[in-house]
Amino acid sequence: MSSAERIGILGGTFDPVHAGHIAVAQAARHALGLRQVWLMPSRVPPHRHGPQASVYHRFAMVAMAALSVEGLLASDADLETPGPSYTIELLERLHVEGYRPSQIVFITGADAFADIATWRRYPALLDAAHFAVVSRPRQRVEAMRERLPELSEHFVLAETNEARARLDGPQPAVFLIDAPTPDVSSTNIRQRLQTGTSIVGLVPADVERYIRRHGLYAAEIPTAGHLHEHTAQ
């Protein structure tokens, strides 16, 4: 199967999207030869408190970030989910659309994958797609083998002959990708904005301008509806 037939998916709250997200997506794209990676905001994250910015703002920021990087696309496929956005349910919807598990690479940081045992329908969801696990600051991919020894048969180092064979194999694999990624988080960015600290370089420039223009993550957060209000004449 060619890389053109295989899609990478990086899901998340993206509240807001930042340089760490972009680095993770790019690391997986290059390591596994993916032509495209979809950045897919979740409407209601299952493992976290509700996002501060509306789903409309978060998708707009992701779309701006994707425009600035070759090979990244913004996807709204998870925005119509009425309840929590579970990975397994997203993957099953893609199966219905005609994608085979071997055609899907679900991308995540090592910090998130470390808690994979808490994800809905684990470990069955590992049969629904390939997974790409990218190192994060203070969370190297090598630690996955010790933390999750029950998945030893799933793990394979990316950019090896074994990885190339497993990408096209009948059984999905978990590809471990060791790559430098910035030490930045959405939580830290929101805290910086609330205290008036610069976020230059932590998010794409267009995203920073969007945040400033709409006053996101300040004490009073405007909703997307405010963008469309009209004053009665």
55 falls within a domain: yes
Q: What is the tally of structural domains in the chain? A: 1
pLDDT at residue 196 is higher than 50? yes
pLDDT at residue 1 is higher than 80? no
Question: For residue 13, what is the domain's CATH number?
Answer: 3.40.50.620
Give residue-wise pLDDT tens across range 27-70.
999 999 999 999 999 988 776 677 999 999 999 999 999 998 99
184 falls within a domain: no
Check if the beta carbon of residue 206 is closer than 8 Å to that of residue 15. no
Q: What is the extent of the structural domain holding 107? A: 3-177
149 falls within a domain: yes
Instruction: Please enumerate in sequence order all residues whose Cβ is within 8 A of that of 127, keeping only pairs 6 or more positions apart, or say none.
Output: 101, 171, 172
- Return mean pLDDT, the chain: 89
Map tokens 């997986």 to a residue: 28
Give residue-wise pLDDT tens across range 118-137.
999 999 999 999 999 999 98
Give the CA distances from residue 45 to residues 11, 20, 83, 203, 206, in Å, rounded to whole numbers and listed in that order.
Answer: 10, 18, 9, 21, 25
82 falls within a domain: yes
